[in-house]
Amino acid sequence: MGMFDWTERSSDTLASGGVIAPDERLPWGQTAALGVQHVIAMFGATVLAPILMGFDPNVAILMSGIGTLIFFFITGGKVPSYLGSSFAFIGVVIAATAYAGKGPNANIGVALGGIIACGVLYTLIGVIVQAVGTGWIERFMPPVVTGAVVAVIGLNLASVPVKNMASSNFDSWMQAVTFVCVGLVAVMTRGMVQRLLILVGLIIASIIYAILANGLGMGKPMDLSGVMSAAWVGMPNFSAPVFSANAMLLIAPVAIILVAENLGHIKAVTAMTGKNLDQYMGRAFIGDGVATMVSGASGGTGVTTYAENIGVMGATKVYSTAMFVVAAVLAVVLGFSPKFGALIQAIPLPVMGGVSIVVFGLIAAAGAKIWVDNRVDFSQNKNLIVAAVTMILGTGDFTLKFGSFALGGIGTATFGAILLYALLNRDNK
């Protein structure tokens, strides 16, 4: 039996459809095709996150592949998941490095040190969960708390595309064109195209930008010279971490958000497959934590389980972990293509801004969805107050200073939500 016990299923079983379980697989040809689909699904967000933080997108893609393989081995191939760049880090990384929003991040080292610290904390939580189960997490972080914290990640970033990514009126209009393109793709298309709404919307908006800016001279022209001159194959720009106490204290608490995401991911897959994966929860946290440390050590972003890929699994009813090995290997190959990196860098900033508006909004909406899905009762004052305070702390970037250390919006909102719920929930045991 060993760690991996996929059974090659006969074609007549496949022809009748049905659910392909995590420990089963389709014939390798179909598994490979599904792996490609998962690469495309994670692609837009995995590349977008590093760009918004001034990280190298090639390193991020490479590390998403390596991280997924690490996760696969630590969970024994039992949990179907792709690990991509986490958006939970964007706010704290921008705060820790004072990143201006364009080009490489000059202070990337301190951010990487913080990402590694976060991975260590996350791994420790995984070890505790492996020993005692997840009950204590669910007690501290009920849906009202996790929903508010997830929403705040999106809301805290709202000013980034609106204030920093449009330098002219033309740029602002292009941001509007971009999010309208993404919206139309989301609603008007079907199947694979619809699942790639961010990527397809971005491509359409970039073409419109090129027509208006390069063709009609209305804005700063797109520059593709970097793409032409870049090599097809080459090493990504690795970066070394720098360990600064301030940045580590600022970034490490993101582990709490990653725990909430991963918990939700495993519960979603359990609900979809009817196969209880709770026993692998600790291993999933450890896998994600180790992958985040490895990524941070080489210049990549922190990684997390990807909702985009759950969406694809839900649509295809194929939950085989084998396809994520294929996806991971493809991501590693892409990581070694500077031409691919240059293509990403050529996307006009206002188009990235328009996409960011959608992505950050989707994160905020995902938080609200957690409330709806778990039927959080806002007629209870404790839920109302926790959600209300958390949202404003995070959106307004409420900062508390402890000596020279400052805890910014996402941090105060996360800890505030957990502590406030614990305080207000005492009477209602």
pLDDT, one tens digit per residue, over 162-219 is 877 777 888 889 889 998 998 888 888 876 677 667 778 888 998 998 888 888 777 7
Select from 144, 185, 156 the least CA-distant residue to 91.
156
Summarize the confidence of residues 286-290 as an average pLDDT: 94
pLDDT-based confidence at residue 283 (cuts at 50, 70, 90) = very high
pLDDT, one tens digit per residue, over 342-364 is 777 778 888 888 877 887 787 78
- Judge whether residue 248 has pLDDT over 70: yes
Q: Which stretch of 16-30, 130-144, 212-226, 277-291 has the lowest confidence by average pLDDT?
A: 16-30
- Judge whether residue 379 has pLDDT over 80: yes
Q: How far is CA 397 from CA 93, 126, 134, 412, in A?
A: 14, 29, 30, 8
pLDDT-based confidence at residue 6 (cuts at 50, 70, 90) = very low
pLDDT, one tens digit per residue, over 403-414 is 666 677 777 888
pTM: 0.73
Amino acid of residue 288: D
Summarize the confidence of residues 83-98 as an average pLDDT: 83
pLDDT at 5: 46
pLDDT-based confidence at residue 100 (cuts at 50, 70, 90) = low
